[in-house]
């Protein structure tokens, strides 16, 4: 809880900031409340030959969110951080999955703080293994990302999680907003077509088109898992990532997508990935990510 500190202007609701609203998580408290869980991992990025440092992301996100003011009172909780050690990525993903499943089964709204984008496979395990995933339930994964993360590599990494998911689960639908053509080979586009992945190129992310894309995708989904790789944003907005975007999707568009998704009534879990504090400039990326988390939580309509 050391990251949840900050300025205190007063003890009443009119003075409330995030660090005053977050308490340690105890199972069974406040069903429906937001519960943060960290995933401290660089292993997937390392395997994907990226720039390490995302393991420090969870606490950097907490520090950036902590001083933000809340317009209305809320209670939120922190379930701690799953840490990947000694290169044991798959073990960490399983542990994260068990944590997310337990939170969903307790009625919570989990918000996962990465970590490299290998966090996605662990979060998926949590959604798929929860009691809310009943027979016939369709899970939708909406990824805001410059990359498909569908690499055919035999060893799991930050570049493989969605291929792993789609090849093992026929009841998952996957869509990506913000794909950068120069950052994805033809093999990856072919893989996306083979796996029936819906996507919107960064060139095509005008606000109205992005909103229509999201509306169409949500129409066939029972439980939604939103994952945001911060490299979807322009490098000027989000420099603190492993692979900064030369073009990216404008922050107002990304924020509008978050608002649309969290108010949809089907969002079960949200996730932020790829914050690398070592590469950030004046905590610019962390502050931007914290604003998106703030919007997702304060505007959330509980998934049925």
Classified by CATH at the fold level, domain 13-298 comes out as 3.40.800
Query: pTM (2 decimals)?
Result: 0.97
φ, ψ for residue 74 (rounded to 5)? Answer: -155, 160
Q: What is the pLDDT of residue 1?
A: 57
**Integer Cα distance of 206 and 194 in angstroms:** 26
Residues in Cβ contact with 168 at an 8 Å cutoff, skipping those fewer than 6 apart: none
φ, ψ for residue 240 (rounded to 5)? Answer: -90, 60
The mean pLDDT of the chain is: 96
- The domain limits of the chain are 13-298
Q: What is the pLDDT of residue 13?
A: 84
Q: What is the pLDDT of residue 303?
A: 80
pLDDT tens-digit series, residues 221-265 = 999 999 999 999 999 999 999 999 999 999 999 999 999 999 999
Greatest Cα pair distance in the chain = 56
Q: What is the pLDDT of residue 30?
A: 86
Q: What is the pLDDT of residue 220?
A: 86
Of 26-35, 140-149, 150-159, the poorest mean pLDDT is in 26-35
Tell me, letter by letter, the H, E, C secondary structure of 187-221. Answer: HHHHHHHHCCCEEEEHHHCCHHHHHHHHHHHHCCC
Higher pLDDT, 199 or 3: 199
Where does the pLDDT of residue 28 fall: very low under 50, low under 70, confident under 90, or very high at 90 and above? Answer: confident
Looking at the predicted structure, is the pLDDT value of residue 178 above 80?
yes
Where does the pLDDT of residue 153 fall: very low under 50, low under 70, confident under 90, or very high at 90 and above? Answer: very high
CB 217 within 8 A of CB 254: no
Q: What is the pLDDT of residue 194?
A: 97
* Burial of 7: CB neighbours in 10 Å, binned 0-12, 13-18, 19+: exposed
Q: DSSP secondary structure string, 67-94?
A: T-B-SS---EEEEEEEE--TT-HHHHHH
**Integer Cα distance of 37 and 106 in angstroms:** 14
Q: What is the pLDDT of residue 221?
A: 94
pLDDT tens-digit series, residues 29-71 = 888 899 999 999 999 999 999 999 999 999 999 999 999 999 9
């Amino acid at each position: 809880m050391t990251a949840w500190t900050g300025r205190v202007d007063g003890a009443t609701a009119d003075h409330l900031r995030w660090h005053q609203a977050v308490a340690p998580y105890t199972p069974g408290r406040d069903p429906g409340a937001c519960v943060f869980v960290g995933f401290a991992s660089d292993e997937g990025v390392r395997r994907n030959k990226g720039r390490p440092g995302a393991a420090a992301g969870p606490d950097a996100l907490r520090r950036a969110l902590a001083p933000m003011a809340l317009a209305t009172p809320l209670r939120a909780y922190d379930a701690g951080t799953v840490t990947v050690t000694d290169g044991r990525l798959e073990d960490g993903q399983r542990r994260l999955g068990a944590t997310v499943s337990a939170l969903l089964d307790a009625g919570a709204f989990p918000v996962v703080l990465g970590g490299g984008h290998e966090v996605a496979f662990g979060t998926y395990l949590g959604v798929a293994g929860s009691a809310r995933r009943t027979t016939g339930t369709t899970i939708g994964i909406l990824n805001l990302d410059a990359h498909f993360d569908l690499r055919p590599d035999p060893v799991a990494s930050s570049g493989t999680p969605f291929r792993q998911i789609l090849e093992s689960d026929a009841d998952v639908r996957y869509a990506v907003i913000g794909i950068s053509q120069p950052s994805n080979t033809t093999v990856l586009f072919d893989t996306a077509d083979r796996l029936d992945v819906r996507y919107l190129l960064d060139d095509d992310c005008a606000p109205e088109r992005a909103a229509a894309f999201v509306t169409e995708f949500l129409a066939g989904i029972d439980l939604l898992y939103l994952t945001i790789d911060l490299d979807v944003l322009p490098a000027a907005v989000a420099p603190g990532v492993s692979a900064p975007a030369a073009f990216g999707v404008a922050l107002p568009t990304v924020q509008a997508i978050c608002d649309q998704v969290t108010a949809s009534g089907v969002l079960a879990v949200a996730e932020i990935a790829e914050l690398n504090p070592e590469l950030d400039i004046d905590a610019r990326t962390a502050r931007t990510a914290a604003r998106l988390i703030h919007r997702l939580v304060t505007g959330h309509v509980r998934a049925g």
